[in-house]
Structure 1
């Protein structure tokens, strides 16, 4: 409270709880942050609703390109361990799409156009993902660990299937027989929120209010499942661990 008002009107003016200019300014910022937080929560709620709308059949079905995935090799599929390797393949299988049946892609940026088959490999999960896949003890014996280098002093542990020859690639038409349901009102409101946040550059402030940090800074943080196993370890300790693994 301004001391001049107290001198002019006496101490009774304090009972009216008049706010100073600084308090009024702070209340404006707090009210704006509350509205921004409510807008962010509304956006998340609408996104969840839009994802759970379900699917509807597409008549007639259409083909859009080709898809490629791994299947059991013929001799493995007719063997006595077919169900065992089929269960492993179900967890580490990968799918790829191309508009060409031969999956040829252009290689090289300069000179003549060189084409080659697009590479595709089995899933190589990181440590946390590998545990979530729920492999049994017998299935884990077919995987080995490998440290993959992702940059300066950054390694990640990956689990690689030791017998990839048991699987072969298979190409099939990519048939689309269902489409996602759409809600025009939800899409319209999401577009309005997106234009408001991005057009006024409020998304960074909203993320700091809801998540405690900016979204861009969250992407720069080191992910726990790709944390380097050599970080904060002295060289003698690393050499001792390597020597124990070789014994």
Structure 2
């Protein structure tokens, strides 16, 4: 009778080898992390879809600034055309100061300069996209312009509105009239799931499984509570090894 090793004997029987057991446990652990991510997205979507509730006492929170038609353009025969175009290219800015000034360092001194605001410009990709809402008549009022992009280190093409004088900026109070509904049970479940992921330091592992990289966004860069206590601190490898031993 021949002598067989444990692995060879496992191949001839229905018993799983040690290597296969470890692989199955690892796959089960990764499936568990993927389910955590799916559940987290479902909870976020539920919170996002909660309705708005009108406030009994609306209050002002800073100022808002946007473009409106000039008075002479409003009285012209093409007022409706430029009003429709403005709905597609209008921009908004918000500020705590009515002057809409920002701090800027100039000659080793901090000075306040007014924020620049223009109507919307379209990139080359947006201009060629079939989802662009502009009509052919509206496209005639734009011209192509090359501008240096410091991020890509090259000139990029933009399509700019050629008659900005038809619109002027108007400042108005920014009023808060509605607030988001708060579901205490939903918030409790979201916080419970987030605490589980943060305490066990599973965020980078989940991102590597879903996206292929850790993706350390600032939203996820939170201090692990267990890192403050060396006695309670356990790495992911230690937790996974314990999980592996229990399953095997």
TM-superposed deviation, 1:207: 2.8
In structure 2, distance between residues paired with 1:166 and 1:210: 48
TM-superposed deviation, 1:154: 4.4
Match of 2:139 in 1: 140
Change in Cα spacing, 1:12 to 1:65, as seen in structure 2 (3 Å) is: closer
Instruction: Report the count of equivalent residues.
Output: 212
Residues 194-205 of structure 1 correspond to what in structure 2 (within 5 A)?
Answer: 194-205=194-205
In structure 2, distance between residues paired with 1:118 and 1:176: 23
SS of the residue corresponding to residue 215 of structure 2 reads helix
CA contact (8 A) 1:106 1:116 kept: yes
Q: Name the structure with the higher helix share.
A: 1
Residues 6-21 of structure 1 correspond to what in structure 2 (within 5 A)?
Answer: 14-15=12-13, 17-21=14-18
In structure 1, distance between residues paired with 2:39 and 2:7: 45
**Structure 1 segments unaligned to the other structure (5+ residues):** 219-247
Q: Which runs of 4+ in 1 moved over 4 A?
A: 152-155
Match of 1:117 in 2: 114
Match of 1:214 in 2: 213
CA contact (8 A) 1:91 1:133 kept: no
CA contact (8 A) 1:65 1:99 kept: yes
In structure 1, distance between residues paired with 2:164 and 2:119: 8
Match of 2:35 in 1: 38
In structure 2, distance between residues paired with 1:34 and 1:13: 26
Q: Tell me the TM-score normalised to structure 2 length.
A: 0.76
In structure 2, distance between residues paired with 1:106 and 1:6: 70
Match of 2:234 in 1: none
Change in Cα spacing, 1:202 to 1:157, as seen in structure 2 (3 Å) is: farther
Match of 1:245 in 2: none
CA deviations 1:141-165 (Å, max 9, x no partner) are: 0112223332355444322111111
Please provide the CA RMSD for this pair: 2.7
CA deviations 1:55-94 (Å, max 9, x no partner) are: 0101111011110000011111111111111111111111
Residues 23-34 of structure 1 correspond to what in structure 2 (within 5 A)?
Answer: 23-34=20-31
SS of the residue corresponding to residue 63 of structure 1 reads strand
**Structure 2 segments unaligned to the other structure (5+ residues):** 218-248
Change in Cα spacing, 1:189 to 1:94, as seen in structure 2 (3 Å) is: same
Change in Cα spacing, 1:186 to 1:134, as seen in structure 2 (3 Å) is: same
Q: Tell me the TM-score normalised to structure 1 length.
A: 0.76
Match of 1:162 in 2: 162
In structure 2, distance between residues paired with 1:99 and 1:138: 38
